[in-house]
Structure formats: C-alpha cells, structure tokens
Amino acid sequence: MKITYSIIAPIYNEIENLPLLHHRVTEVMESTGKPWELILVDDGSTDGSTEKIRELAAVDKHIRPVIFARNFGHQIAITAGWDFARGDAVVIIDADLQDPPEVILDLAKKWQEGYEVVYAVRAEREGETWFKKFTASMFYRLIYRITDVKIPVDTGDFRLMDRKVVEVLKQMKERHRFPRGMSAWVGFKQIGVEYKRAARHAGVTKYPFKKMLRLALNAITSFSYFPLQVATFFGFLSAGVSILAIPVVAIMRLIGSHFFEGQATTLISVLFLGGVQLISLGILGEYIGRLYDEAKGRPLYIVRDAPKE
C-alpha cells in the first residue's frame, strides 16, 4: 500500500509521552483519510521506551519501530527516520508533544497547495524559562546572520517535506548534522506556518544549555566559514596594532618617556597574542576534527531492530 504521510518521532527516554503521542498522532492522521505511518526511532533509551515502542507496534500496524544499538543523538535519529520513511510527505515531530500533532494538518494543507518544505514557526513558547527563550532567540538569529544559508528564525525540526526533498537529504551523509539547515540548503518551494509551542507534557528536556551550544557549533561549522574569518580578523588586528605600536614606542623612548618601561606591557602583549593564537588553533581544530570524522567513513548509525519492508 502506498503511504501518503510518514511521521518521524525521535525517542530518547520518553516513556511517559509515548501513549499520548501515539493517541494524538493517530487521531490527527485518521482524520486525513490517507494512508500513514508513525516511525518511532528509539535513540538508545534506558527508561523502558524501547519496550513500550514494541508494545505499541504490536497492536498498531501504523507504527514502524527503528531501534538503535546505542544513543547516536537526535539529529542522527531524524536521519534514520528519513531513511525508513515511505510516505509522499514526511513530517518530523518531537515526542514530548511540545510540537502539537494537530499542526500537521496545517502543514499538510500548505503541501497540498504545492509547497515542498513547510516549516513550523514558533510564534509562542509555553513552559520555558526566560533564559531558555532568550538563548534560543539569540541562537536562531546568530545562525541566520552568519551562515551561508538563510535558515528561518524561530523554527525547529518540526516540518513537513515532500518526498523529492527527502530523497535529496538522504544523499547528504555528513556526520555533524543540522537537519533544519540542511532542509533550507536544498532549496525547493518553502513556506512557514506559525503555531503555539506547548509546554513539555512529561519528562525533562533533552537539550540543556550544553547541547544547545554543541548544536550551534554544528550549525555554524556546517554552513559557514565565519569562525575562520573571525580568526583571520583577529590576526590582522593584532598585527596592525603591533605595526602601529612600534613607531609609538620608539618615539616615546627617544623623547625620554618612562611610560613603556617594565615588563607589564610586554607580558600583556604576549598574553594577548597567545590568546589569539590559541583561539585560532581551536577554531581550526574544530574544522579539522570534522574532516577527520568524515574521513573515517563510519556509518551514521547502527540499527538493532527495524522493519523488514
């Protein structure tokens, strides 16, 4: 049977959310009258989510479980969902129900109008601290300004993509992945749909500040040379300051000024230049490390259990 809609939900320790996720997605998708599937990608859960996914799959043929051999990360779980999705339209949704499944109908409507990527824009965010909202806002705007691809602000991974878009994304095998940037990079006809992001139904966030920083770093290094350009800028800046300082120091010494005497000035200059050099090396190391990961050619993920068809 030809599938119209594939819903991908990465799962990592979401046992409390799985029953309601299944219920709400089923209710929404049955209202479309079209064939659909719910792909639950278990990303190495340790709270019993794996067993719960298997239980749901045993009683509902719409559910296709993809069980990882270990935790590979949210972005890789989305990639696995793309690989196993069979639908003409593929939707990515979070399992914590912050992305309301009912919004899928709005995304599908735009797809039926001819749009090939329909991304959900967070007009409101419930149940989040001001710090979370502030850092998220800064993250999206920073990425928008410095990356080569104009990634829509205030959007997450919640989106619907046409089959032709997914087939292109499946060809992109980089290890450090940023799906929302990748879907913007491929082009096609895109549009946003605003929605109110709900509070998490149960459990704790899987994206604390540390993971958000890592995600931001992946986004920047995957779609921009801006950090390397910053390192170059600081190199020229420090060199320019040094060139200007040489005649100034020489003149001050000739006229007998004692302003530049002692080791403090030398020490500060050395520390400044050393700091610039270490920062530049760190930036280069991030890019070189990514090249090393790509060169190893390891699979993006390992599946322990997955649908045979």
Q: Where are the alpha helices (DSSP H) in 118-208?
A: 130-146, 163-169, 179-185
Residue-level pLDDT at 264: 56
Residue-level pLDDT at 45: 86
Q: Which two tokens stand for residue 154?
A: 């205030």
Residue-level pLDDT at 254: 66
| 143 contacts 268 by C-beta, under 8 angstroms | no
Question: For domain 5-207, which CATH number applies: 2.30.42.10, 3.90.550.10, 3.40.710.10, 2.130.10.10?
Answer: 3.90.550.10
Torsion of CA 22, 81, 106, 97, to 10 degrees: 40
Task: List the chain residues with pLDDT less than 70.
Answer: 1, 124-137, 139-149, 198-226, 228-229, 231, 235-236, 238-239, 241-243, 245-246, 248-250, 252-254, 256-269, 271, 308-309
Q: Which two tokens stand for residue 103?
A: 């919004």
Residue-level pLDDT at 72: 85
Positive/negative CA dihedral, 76, 79, 80, 81: positive
Element (H, E) at 76: helix 74-84
| 174 contacts 294 by C-beta, under 8 angstroms | yes
Residue-level pLDDT at 146: 65
Residue-level pLDDT at 196: 78
- Which pTM value belongs to this model? 0.69
Rounded to whole angstroms, the Cα distance separating 35 from 6 reads 9
The residues, any chain, with a CB within 8 Å of residue 196's CB and separated by 6 or more, are 100, 123, 124, 126
Residue 34 phi, psi dihedral angles, 5° rounding: -110, 150
